[in-house]
Structure 1
């Protein structure tokens, strides 16, 4: 793959449009100094580091769609030297390919509702793009038989993102999102060291918009939340979902969570809890793995799990992977997850008859 001769990387158009790039083609290292989202930088850094370890170049192409004919592709190949592999980092809107190169797709942020919807449309409307790919990086999507794409797993040696979340107490007032906000505001300052001091078990649940559209997944976490309310030895951290834009705040994430849970039956009291907390983003390892408490992870299949190395997942005492997969594709997905996590988790298969919001509606893509 690209470890032999280097990588040409293209980025989601929506991200690259917001910054002033150094040129049409430039070293990947220069991109890391730009004001871009941390997850995108993490993907580029992952590819760059692998290239550096093998002594080859990693370059970024700002607008790969420009290079579609003889003169432009000749100019491109002259600029990139012997690089033969193009990696399109895609948020689901499109997959861009460069003629004359071996093209790979690196899908990310498909836990965002709009991105996932775009990806599903892309599969249906542009099957020729799928057939033109040599591999999918860090994903295991199933496609029609004539467009099967092998999976390549790339993971960092250590976490790639700087994580410094803010925390708020969890609350669910089913009849009113505003009442939920009011309860949280009245609950006072949160002291996690004190709140978790008696907890011998911590359940960590990073969320996505797609995960919260799944009735089965919401029922699962609602049961865990309800049980934790009445067990002082259990703490729960819900990392709020990332939205399409980086500007979205905790309030938007809380609203998404409340709207997802308010219709789920269960015994969640309508008061704030300081042992069940909301995090503005994923939590750093230094916070999760403190003392001798048991730490469990609940991971939905829409999360970008490649952001962490297998060693990270090895630190959890138990992992549940909640996933929507057609029965005949589960074996392939289990193999993928085993390699990604470096261990065999417990699988919680999400299946319901309702058409929307549902789990079965995601099977074709996942």
Structure 2
């Protein structure tokens, strides 16, 4: 299977299956000399782990990370980091019926046709469980960015179905994100979102929505002008996350309703720094960061596994009816937030190292 690696200089290779012995990631390109222990990584895995609240899957996993290589006495050596997370609460028997059919909107059919075989239990590599490796690697990238640049990365739930946060990105209070189960920075709206998700769970259904993410204190110059544009790599990163179905940055699709005279971000001097009066570009122009906050959104579909009766076909192509089983999120949004943050950190760290390589070359 190709496509398990991501990045150029800061590169990760994700491995493992949902119901295997464990999952993990190999991180190449992490600079030597970084102080790094499991305690630096675990808080982000805790935000992603299953079983954390009443509106997430009931699978009980501690998602305790182990650093297997790449450090000596808590300091990175510059060699590959191997991060391992053990699986402990698999219930593969819940998937026995699914071996005989294709679940709607899952990867069952496409995997079977592409590889001639599929891992039925938990979906194998198609399971969102593998994103724990993304989050672990993202925590390393985030520490590099924080120590080198002071970059601030935070995501939050902007909408759940038709309930949408109206606060402009520049006014979002990031301190409120972790004060509620759904990770929405507006407490009253968050309460409505939680009730809506709980109602969907009780009805055996699921909901989708949007995660918005902000990257602040990003320096000017990250990204390339043609194929490796910063927003292009962010888009690839976000659309690689399970259940993601859309990406937009800055004004996004809403910008199509504006005119150039109002959409253009006017530059001005702010005490010696060049900034823009508006940020419709979302912090990226010509594929390169311009120093303004990078703001983007990721759309997530309703979780495909639902308890309600659904029509599908079996392996012989005959029409059948089945009920979803297993433990699944009625809405992926709350647990998607740390995954979005992690993927953004991976992209920024990779482009930061590439930027430094260019600068160092020209400084010789």
TM-score calculated relative to the size of structure 1 = 0.24
> RCO greater where, 1 or 2, for CA within 8 Å and sep 6 or more?
2
Please identify which structure carries the higher strand content. 2
TM-score calculated relative to the size of structure 2 = 0.24
